[in-house]
Chain A
Amino acid sequence: MEHEVFTWASLFPFLKKLPPHVSNALIISVILVVIAILGYTKLKKRGDDIVPEGKLTFGTFAEMIVESFSNIVVDTMGPKGKEFVLLIGTLGLFILFNNLSGLVPGFLPATDNVNTTFACSLTVFVMTHYYGVKEHGIKYLKQFMGPFWWLAPLMVPIELIGHIARPLSLGLRLFGNITGDHLVTAIFFGLVPLFVPLPVMFLGLFVAFVQTFVFMLLSMAYFSGAISHEH
C-alpha cells in the first residue's frame, strides 16, 4: 500500500498540480521575497542613523546578509564587481535556501532537479556574454579567435566547446551533489531512523554551503574573464 508522500506544497490547492521542483522553488522564492521586503521596511524605518543597533534584530540580520554577499563578490572580483552583486547574490541566496530546504522534512529541494540547476547556470552563461559584449562591443568576438588570425579556424571550435562546457559543468555539479546527498540521507533514514542519519545530515549541511559558494565563485570567475581586457 503506497501512500502519498507529504509535502508542504500539497497544502496549497494551486501548487498541488505542479511538479515538486517547481512548487518548492516557488515556496522558497516567496520566503525570500518576504525576507527582502521585511528587511527593506525595517531599514527604511531606521532612516539615516549612523550608529547601528546594539543587538541582533531582523534589520541588522538582513544588513549582515547583504554585506557578506557584497564582501565576497568585491573580494574576488575587485572594485569592478559591484555591478554583479545583485545577480550573484540573488543566485547565491536562491541556491542556498533551496539546498538547505532539503534538510527540512516535507520539502524536496528544487536544486535536485536538472531543470532548476540548468536554469541557474544558463542565466550565468547568457549574462556572461551580455556583459562581455557590453564591455568590449563587437571586439568581444575577437577573444574567440585566439592570438593570430590564421589560427582562428582552429581556435573558434576549441573556445566554443570550452564555453559550452562551463554552464554544463556548473549545473551538473550542483544537481549531482544535492541529489546524491538527499538520496544518501533518505537511504540511511530508511535503514535506521534514529541517530544514524545525523552525521549524513551534518554532511548535507556542509555540502549545501560549499556548493552554493562554488557556484558563486565559478560564476564570478566567468564574469571577470568576460570583462577583463587581457586574455
Chain B
Amino acid sequence: MLEKDGNLMDMTIQSSKKDVVRSLLSYSSLGLEMGLSVAIGIAIGYFLDSFFKTSPYLTIIFMIFGVAAAMKTIFTLLKKVQKDNERDNHK
C-alpha cells in the first residue's frame, strides 16, 4: 500500500515537472513572436506606402496593427493557460 502511494506521488510529481518544462518552452516562443509581429507590421506598411506613395501614414497604421497582433499573442497564450488550469483542477 505504502509503495503504491509512493509510486502514485512519484508519477504526479513527474507529470507536473513535464508540464512545467512544456509550458516554459511554449512561453519562450512569446518574445520572438511579439518582436516579429511588430517587424512584419512595419514591413507591410512600408511596402504599401511605397506602392501607394502615401508615406508615412500606412507605415504608422500597420505598426499599430503589429503591436496589437503582439498583444493578441499574449492574450491567446493567457487563454490557453487558463483553460489548461481549469482542466487540471477538474481532474
Q: Which residues of A contact B28 (CB under 8 A)?
A: 214
Whether B25 and A169, one on each chain, are in contact in the complex, defined by CB atoms closer than 8 angstroms, is no
Cα A166 to Cα B26 with chains together (Å) = 13
- Does B60 interact with chain A (Cβ within 8 Å)? no
A67 to chain B, nearest CB (A): 17
- The residues in B between 65 and 82 inclusive whose CB is less than 8 angstroms from any CB of A are 65-66, 68-69, 72-73, 76, 80
Q: Contact at A172–B32, with CB atoms within 8 Å?
A: yes
Q: How many A-B residue pairs have CB under 8 A?
A: 52
Report yes or no: A214 in contact with B69, Cβ–Cβ below 8 A. no
Q: Check B26 against A217 for contact (C-beta < 8 Å).
A: yes
Say which residue of A158, A218, A221 sits within 8 Å of B69 (CB atoms): A158
Tell me, rounded to whole Å, the shortest Cβ–Cβ distance linking A96 to chain B: 15
Asked whether A165 lies within 8 Å of B25 as measured between CB atoms, the reply is: no
**A157, A172, A173: which has the most chain B beta carbons within 10 Å?**
A157
B25 touches A158 (CB 8 A): no
> Quick check: B68 and A158 within 8 Å, CB to CB?
yes
Q: Is A161 in contact with B26, judged by CB distance below 8 angstroms?
A: no
Contacting B at CB under 8 A, from A143-182, are: 157-159, 161-162, 164-166, 168-169, 172-173
Q: Chain A interface (Cβ within 8 Å of chain B)?
A: 76, 157-159, 161-162, 164-166, 168-169, 172-173, 210, 213-214, 217-218, 221, 225
Across chains A and B, which 7 residue pairs bring their CB atoms closest together, nearest first? A161-B69, A162-B69, A165-B36, A169-B32, A165-B37, A169-B33, A158-B69
Can you list 21 pairs linking A and B with CB atoms under 8 Å apart?
A76-B22, A157-B65, A158-B65, A158-B68, A161-B40, A161-B41, A161-B66, A161-B69, A162-B69, A162-B73, A165-B36, A165-B37, A165-B69, A169-B36, A173-B29, A214-B25, A214-B28, A217-B22, A217-B25, A218-B26, A218-B29
